[in-house]
Structure 1
Amino acid sequence: MPHDAARWARVAAWFDELVDLVPAMRAARLAAIAAEDPPAAEELRALLAADALEHGVLDAGLAQAVRDLPAGAQAAAPDSGRIGPYHVLQPLGEGGMGVVFLAERSDGSYEQRVAIKLIKRGMDSAAVVQRFLRERRILARLAHADIVRLLDGGVADDGRPYYVMEHVEGRALTEFANARRLPLRERVALVARIADAVAYAHTQLVVHRDLKPSNVLVDAGGTPHVLDFGIAKLLEESGEQTRTGTGLRVLSPAYAAPEQILGEAIGTATDVYALGLMLCELLVGRLPRQRSSVPAQLAQEATHETSERASALAARLAAAEVDALYGSGIDAKRLAQALAGDLDIIVATALQRDPARRYPTAAAFADDLRRWLARRPITARADSASYRIARFVRRHRAGVVASVVVAAALLAGLGIALWQAQVARGEARRADAERTHAERQLARAERVKDFMLTLFREQDPVSRAKAQARTASQLIGDGIVQIDATLGEEPDLQAELLRDLGEIQINLDDGKAGVATLARAWEMQRRLGGPDGLAATEAQVAYADGLYASGDVKAAAPLADAAIARLRDLGAARGARMAQAESIASKIQLIQGNIDEAERLARDAIDVTRALHGPRSMELVGNLALLGKVLHEGARFPDALAVLRDAIGIVEAAGGADNARAAVLHMSVGDTLRVQRKYDEALPEYEAALRIERAQLPHDHVILGGTLIRLGDLQRRMGRLDAADASLAEAIGILSKSPGGQYAQALQFHGNLARAQGRLEVAAQRYRASFEAFRTITGDSVYTWLTALEVVSVLGELGRFDEADALAAQAVAAMAKLSKDDSYEAAYVNSVIGGLRQAQHRLPDAIVAQRRAVVLIEKAYGPDHAEVAQARAELAASLVATDDPALRREAGELVEQARVTLERSGGETAEPMLGLVYLVRSRVRRDDGDLGGARTDVAQAIGRLQAPEHARRLREARVLAQQLGAG
């Protein structure tokens, strides 16, 4: 329906009259209007219906009220697509009387994108135009960096007035702060800056009257821009426009001050109230009170309005809500503590019902915020008792005078009673919390007791439900089904028990099921208390541990690292779950070759566990075993043995010599002795571990498989090849059902065995299989590329130099990133590359690599170790093959040092290395003209190089013997 200015003014006046009437009077008045002007009455009914909506005219503006009128206000741009000299690009938003377009200057004067507010078609009545022009007049007098500036104005070709503002690319205040997870102090500083802009407007005699987060845009640089002075008023005006309940009333009830809702006088304190609301919402994500959308009820609420403290609102926030505001660095309790005190008082002062008791100006409000930021005393104070008493006396003067004597008599007793009541309430709250906790623990204990009884009943043919006893894994599975069926209404207890049972499944070597159960427990805790709550984080640690135990190192690593950081933020850095998380992370760092970080994490886990459980507790054993492994990998063998034997002592004192945990420790001691070539000492350690495991564990347990691969490798080194084959085959059978790091290692050791048997092609195949397994399980880890170097070494012996060179280049590049230049791993890289270059007769390259290997191995083991002697012998073999007399003399010195070391160490393991030493010395003596000595040495070499894995050296020794004419 078309509107002329007079008609719209008449409808608007009737609406303002009707909107404040009680329903009965409103109905009667509307009936009278209908008799006089039926079309106007229909429009008024639509307006009143929109005003009664939950998000009605007071929230959305006049456009919401008239959106359904057939010929009402229209938001279209001019048909030409131009407004004055500006080309319209797209609509940006729509208000009560105008629509805002994004536009750009198109007359060549200058280039700038702007926001143009154009009065709507159908809204260009005299009253609306007057108000529109008044808004433009208000903006024209405001020139502040944080207030959107007026740039231009005029009349469009179709006769509608417009004005041009700067265009701000930004987000609403709360959206910006929450998207960036702004810290508390930055939020306060942002509101202080907004308050400065509002204070400036007040100095220009302008009150905004509709401040809210959506009317403050913050750009990417963090600068706020106050906009939409559409219902602002000039303080020097008088008459009806100084009051809210006149003309085209448009405000946002959630952010309106009580005086706006009640039609009382408007002043600068009105904007202070809105600033207090914005500060509260910015700090805690919600307003300090809820308001009705029904006008009559809204007015009633505003008359007696009170606001809740910001700290009290914060204390009730869920973990997910705090995370949405600030991220994971703070919880509800700490946020409430930060808000309590001065910030609470600042917000409460700004939100006083009586405008006279608020901050007198926005500048005063900003000043107190900056005082808080500077940790100085604020000017606002909480309501004093004298103020409340004075207000009461003024309202009830006669009653107070009559009862003052009685009040005096009761005052002391009343004070005591109030104090006692407060204490009682506090005790009651504590009692309720303790009772709830006790009830939860009782329920948990009952579930655990029932489960344990079920385990015992399974061993009783009369009591158990089935003819055949269920396995432990089956019992756990049935227990999970029962928990799901009975604890659906207690999800927190359900999640806790699932976590416990999932960890048991992992310990029972039921990795797939355990990981699935732990994943469920973690997801449930994330839903219950938010993803960053303590319960969810502890469940995340258990899940990460399960993933690691089942071989999924890639997935476990980020979960463990994130849990460690979050536990610190939550104040749980000295708890049992932190020790568990650090142990997982230490193992992963060890795999990645970061020895120092692995040791730091392992030692901190020990410190945490020792503080929690005591210096000789069984809980320490796993952490000590891990530290022993880390020290072992760092070649600190004496330290590793001391830590591991200390752990064995704890286990045997608490659980006896046959405790299953002792088996793992014996195995670790065997590892440390084995790499030092102390085979005779290592063998009884492995045998002790195997004896305990076969007695205490299932026949296919992963721990048993781990011991067997180590025993197999030891047997191979000791020349017991058939026994080694049996041990490694059994280990691979056990570990292949759930391939992890130990499975890949078993394949590698099987390759070593094939090499010892002289089956080099088989060895290459097994090494490649191990390399691919490590790569799948651990990614580009140290173990992956050390195994690749085993492939390189065998390919070199086979003469497949192109393949060897290609893989060697990859391995060297990877190891350069994964290990330190002076590490044992670097020594091994140089040793393998030196051997390959020697086989290719690239002697200068071989010598460079082998010299480096000698230096690094000596650093790791000391000068008198067998590994050092072997490295010296390999270097001497390259030196003696050159035509340089000086290098051949150096070769003679090196092999003599190696011979002394190896003959002093003795044992079967030194024999093959002595074979190489005598072979090199034979060549040195031949070149020196000592043919008799050369013949003696080559005979010694042949006798010591009979094992199949030394076939290449044996062939070289026999060729040399023929050249020397030796028998």
Structure 2
Amino acid sequence: MSSVDARVLSLFRAYVDLEPRRRSRFLEDARRDDPQAHALLAAMIAADAGEHALDLSLPWLSDRLRTGNEDAADADEDDESDGENRIGTRLGPWRLVRKIGQGGMGIVYEAMRDDRQYEQRVALKCARAELSSPRLSEALLAERRHLARLQHPNIVPLLDGGVDAQDHPWFALQYVEGEAIDLWCDRRRKSLRDRVALLGQVCDALAYAHAQGVVHQDLKPSNLLVTDDGRVQLLDFGLSAPLNLGADTPAPPVALTPGYTAPEIVFRGAAPCIASDLYSLGVVLAQLLTGDGPSRSLLAQASQWLATTSSEAGAERLVRSAATATSEAIANRGLSDRRSLAKQISGDLAAIVERCLRADPTQRYRSAGELGEDLQRWLQHRPVRARDGGRLYRTGRFLRRHRLAMGLAGVTALTAAIGGGATWWQAYRVERETQATLAVSRLFEETLGSATLSGLSDTPFSSSALLRDVETKVRGLDLSAQPRTLAGALTSLARSRAVIGDYASATRLADEAARLLDRDGAPSLETRATLASLLNLQARHRQARSVAEQTLDQVPHDQLHRPLRVRLLTEIARSDWELLHHRDAQDALDAALALTRNQPERGPYAELLTLRGYWNARLLNLPQAEADFRRAIAVAADTQPALANQAREKLIQLLTLQERFAEAQGLALQLLEQRRRSLGDRHPDTGRAWVALADSQCGGGRPADCRASIERGKDILRARYGESHPEYAEALRVSTQLYFLDEHSYAERLSEMRRSASILQESYGPAHEAALRARADLGVMLLHRKPASVPDEEQRRLRDEGLALLDSVLSTSDRQKVPIFTPKLYYAIAIARRNRGDDRDTARRLLVETQTDAERYFGDSRGLHLRISYYLALLAYIQGDLATADAQMADIAAQAETAPPHLRLRLVLCNILNVRANIALHRGDRDSARNHLIRLRDTAMRWLGPEHPWVKQAQRDLDLLARTGRFPT
């Protein structure tokens, strides 16, 4: 490497290590001190940032990285069209059927024999026409020559070859039905052992190619296909080179793949050799083990290469990747937590990867066969040569290979060693713990009756006074020398507190129990699982996840501990979902479901089905959500009524969302009755049942019942949680629907809605679905028609606030890919009325999008479709197309009058009658205007009550029309 080369790489590393704010000054200093090195550094930084293709004068970099980013090549429209144009044409006896791949040099097609000699399918590779050059043709010919020399069961064989009309070479390979090795392993959730065994096949194929004098030079997952029967096929020798160790100036490759290519080739222009292929194979192995693919950044690679001076650097990076692996990557390897992955990878596997990735090629494995042998040694629990382990290491491997025999011998020896004082001390401790446990059990039996150290059933308590008394008596017992017994008692009391909805006290007790057990050195896994659940109930999701994940790492993988693993995975799933880590949540939920399916204890399975149904409902996968809820109810109804009721509560919310109000109300009444009977009238679950009933009653057009139910629910939740809890905020959100029934309560309901949105945003963050829903409802209230008593200036201020709020909500929902409906309708009409710039075009687009989404997610939901149709007609009215608006509204009104009871639809009908009266007056048809106003007054009186503002406004307009011949429009 020249002095300039070294200087540039040194600058490279220094630049990447700097804080962003200091980089400009650094570049200015480099420009002043060393203009030549600065120019090369600037070009590398620009290429790394993707600003333009790399074009450097460094001899060891020039023309080596012209492409390498196959994804970018695939996205190029001209490349795509060129490839498509060839479909249907022939090359030799082969007709091109479809394009199946494209890289930096060539295009690969599926082709069929077309000369009537015999039938055969092949993969045919030819040059990309727009890149044709003598050098590219020579590279394809070289690939063909190399393949002709290779006959190995793990290398795709060459079948045919020739040149096209423009003298560009092509060749046909055996067609392989396979998938890239990383994707194949992930889809089948292959263990680390299975992945290592697959890479052993690659080592065999690569060792054979090297023996034939061919270096592959482009090893990466997409060039290692695995068939359905688990056989690896090595393909794409497009960058292959002859293994000529005596060459002084090797020909540079046409292209390289950043991240997989050995750094000495990228940054130093070294000759291709066995060591460079082994580097690439090490990158693939690391990716298969951890799921962490290599960086494609030149800047990062340069820094990493220069930093790799310690023999431990590669191993440390691998273990760090395992420790930060995604939940998806962990599940795809058949594991349940990061700790297990890091534990399996650290040591031998990390040493193997580190040997492959060493900066100095001479310190890597000497051959692919040697690497394959080390992988085989790991599979057989034998010492690997990558580690310089001593006698202790070799002994450990011997014991692991023969663990059954050694285990039996160890048990015998241990049994013989136990005796005397150890036996006496153990017996004494057991006796003391037994006496303490009996004392606590008697106390529980005398005070709580059915309550025991294992927890409580659905037994209701009238107040928390009894539990306070029991806690006082437990602390009065002499349990200072028996922390396990005290912890068990406190855990039981924590569960009892949770049963009556006192989650704060429950958490305090569970946390104290966990700390007692930690100090005693005893496992506190069950207690910590209870603590995680209680933290989730209080919306403290980050803490809950931390507790659950740390505990899960300590739980053994056996049948006895399966229920505990399920509990912890469930709490991790809950936490991740509420923290908007939806993919991680789904992974944890799937892992828990796999452990509970077909198990005799059905409660956990029902709970997980309910959780999955709730998530499906939030994503508007409505049929799947309903199926999950109904299945959960069926599974838990006989043995776990509390869990069945949780599923019923979610099903009620789903039916209400779908505007199936009669079904929702029937199920809500059933839920309320069961919870009042089992939990009592003041339990928070009973309060939620009242809120669920109120929601269905409000939407179903039963205002008096809705008002009574929501007040009962709010009263219970306020008493149990206070006025700053998310559950109370949800009750306030439902309560604001009463505004639509009584617009004179606008100020009160708007205040409640602001409070609800504030609590939920503070509890969960602004992007959380509950907070987003509350902000959307607040935006709707701000844009909804106000009482006449609100001054015009205040109405404009509220309208502007509502528009800004809904604009933010729509942007967030678009990013989260969760469609929303009513807020989008209100927003569209509000900007159409504002009419700035392209507001009305935007409004039409939003309404059409909403209509499409409604058809996709809600099918034939009549109420929603009629409301959307009304807003489209209202847009026509705002734009001055009165004839179209009137005709459409007449049709909508006829359908709305025969629809089932539905609050929003009744309000739509009132709005339609008001607009049609305005249109008739505009046309000078006072009789039609008068008839529409009479229908508006009578309809509102019948459905909304005589005090509703629509009734009073219609009567005022009728009086004005009679006196003056006009009314305000």
> TM-score, normalised on structure 1?
0.50
CA contact (8 A) 1:792 1:807 kept: yes
Distance 2:920 2:816 in 1: 36
Cα–Cα, structure 1 residues 445 and 952, in superposed 2: closer, same or farther, change >3 Å?
Answer: farther
Distance 1:453 1:957 in 2: 73
Q: Percent identity?
A: 15
Distance 1:723 1:859 in 2: 33
Matches within 5 A, 1:380-399: none
The number of aligned residues is 590
Match of 1:771 in 2: 757
Distance 1:378 1:824 in 2: 54
Cα–Cα, structure 1 residues 896 and 554, in superposed 2: closer, same or farther, change >3 Å?
Answer: farther
CA contact (8 A) 1:873 1:916 kept: no
CA contact (8 A) 1:641 1:669 kept: yes
> The residue matched to 1:824 in structure 2 has which SS?
coil
- Aligned match of 1:607 in 589, 594, 598? 594
Distance 1:943 1:543 in 2: 57
Cα–Cα, structure 1 residues 728 and 425, in superposed 2: closer, same or farther, change >3 Å?
Answer: same
Match of 1:556 in 2: 544
> The residue matched to 2:637 in structure 1 has which SS?
helix
- Aligned match of 2:726 in 741, 748, 752? 741
Match of 1:784 in 2: 771
Instruction: State the shift of 1:867 in Å.
Output: 1.5
Q: Does 1:329 align with 2:339?
A: yes
The one-letter amino acid paired with 1:896 is D
* Superimposed CA distance per residue, residues 351-378 of structure 1 (whole angstroms, 9 cap, x where no aligned partner): xxxxxxxxxxxx9x999x9999666677
Match of 1:511 in 2: 503
Distance 1:597 1:471 in 2: 41
Match of 2:797 in 1: 802
Distance 1:545 1:914 in 2: 46
- Aligned match of 1:670 in 627, 652, 655? 652
Cα–Cα, structure 1 residues 870 and 898, in superposed 2: closer, same or farther, change >3 Å?
Answer: farther
CA contact (8 A) 2:536 2:544 kept: yes
Cα RMSD after superposing both structures: 5.8
Match of 1:644 in 2: 629
Matches within 5 A, 1:57-68: none
The one-letter amino acid paired with 1:223 is T
Q: Does 1:831 align with 2:813?
A: no
Cα–Cα, structure 1 residues 819 and 608, in superposed 2: closer, same or farther, change >3 Å?
Answer: farther
Distance 2:529 2:343 in 1: 23
Match of 2:938 in 1: 943
Distance 2:311 2:852 in 1: 67
Match of 1:256 in 2: none
Instruction: State the shift of 1:693 in Å.
Output: 1.8
Distance 2:692 2:407 in 1: 72
> The residue matched to 1:488 in structure 2 has which SS?
coil
* Superimposed CA distance per residue, residues 823-877 of structure 1 (whole angstroms, 9 cap, x where no aligned partner): 333x343123134436657772544443433333333212442022112212312
CA contact (8 A) 2:810 2:824 kept: no
Instruction: State the shift of 1:744 in Å.
Output: 0.3
Q: Does 1:543 align with 2:531?
A: yes
The one-letter amino acid paired with 1:458 is T
Distance 1:692 1:835 in 2: 44
- Aligned match of 1:705 in 684, 687, 693? 687
Instruction: State the shift of 1:646 in Å.
Output: 2.8
CA contact (8 A) 1:712 1:727 kept: yes
* Superimposed CA distance per residue, residues 594-623 of structure 1 (whole angstroms, 9 cap, x where no aligned partner): 777655544543332235445xx2333322
Structure 2 unaligned residues grouped into runs of 5+? 1-284, 287-303, 313-336, 353-362, 378-382, 392-405, 451-461, 787-791
Match of 2:217 in 1: none
Match of 1:880 in 2: 877
Distance 2:654 2:851 in 1: 21
Distance 1:445 1:894 in 2: 79
Matches within 5 A, 1:260-659: 329=339, 424-425=412-413, 451-458=440-447, 473-474=467-468, 477-478=471-472, 481=475, 485-486=478-479, 488=481, 495=487, 498-524=490-516, 535=523, 539-553=527-541, 555-560=543-548, 566=553, 575-588=562-575, 591=578, 601-614=588-601, 617-654=602-639, 659=641
The one-letter amino acid paired with 1:752 is Q
> The residue matched to 2:603 in structure 1 has which SS?
coil
CA contact (8 A) 1:767 1:787 kept: yes
Match of 1:115 in 2: none
CA contact (8 A) 1:589 1:597 kept: yes
The one-letter amino acid paired with 1:882 is Q
Distance 2:798 2:597 in 1: 52
Distance 1:915 1:868 in 2: 17
> The residue matched to 1:486 in structure 2 has which SS?
coil
Match of 1:177 in 2: none
Instruction: State the shift of 1:707 in Å.
Output: 0.9
* Superimposed CA distance per residue, residues 325-374 of structure 1 (whole angstroms, 9 cap, x where no aligned partner): xx9735999799969x99xxxxxxxxxxxxxxxxxxxx9x999x999966
CA contact (8 A) 1:591 1:783 kept: no
Instruction: State the shift of 1:679 in Å.
Output: 2.3
Match of 2:858 in 1: 861
Distance 2:855 2:463 in 1: 58
* Superimposed CA distance per residue, residues 240-263 of structure 1 (whole angstroms, 9 cap, x where no aligned partner): xxxxxxxxxxxxxxxxxxxxxxxx
> The residue matched to 2:694 in structure 1 has which SS?
helix
Instruction: State the shift of 1:879 in Å.
Output: 1.7
Distance 1:441 1:915 in 2: 77
Cα–Cα, structure 1 residues 893 and 884, in superposed 2: closer, same or farther, change >3 Å?
Answer: closer
Distance 1:725 1:419 in 2: 70
Identify which range, 695-704 or 841-850, moves more after superposition.
841-850
Instruction: State the shift of 1:448 in Å.
Output: 6.4
Distance 2:493 2:911 in 1: 56
The one-letter amino acid paired with 2:936 is A
The one-letter amino acid paired with 2:949 is A
Distance 1:841 1:589 in 2: 42
Cα–Cα, structure 1 residues 438 and 931, in superposed 2: closer, same or farther, change >3 Å?
Answer: farther
Distance 1:945 1:669 in 2: 31
- Aligned match of 1:900 in 895, 901, 912? 895
Instruction: State the shift of 1:768 in Å.
Output: 0.9
CA contact (8 A) 2:525 2:555 kept: no
Distance 1:586 1:794 in 2: 34
The one-letter amino acid paired with 1:633 is R
The one-letter amino acid paired with 2:781 is V
* Superimposed CA distance per residue, residues 723-782 of structure 1 (whole angstroms, 9 cap, x where no aligned partner): 433332232222123243221011122222244222111111111111111122222222
Distance 1:698 1:756 in 2: 31
> TM-score, normalised on structure 2?
0.50
Cα–Cα, structure 1 residues 908 and 543, in superposed 2: closer, same or farther, change >3 Å?
Answer: closer
The one-letter amino acid paired with 2:540 is D
Match of 1:314 in 2: none
Distance 1:880 1:834 in 2: 14
Larger CA Rg, structure 1 vs 2: 1
Instruction: State the shift of 1:694 in Å.
Output: 1.8
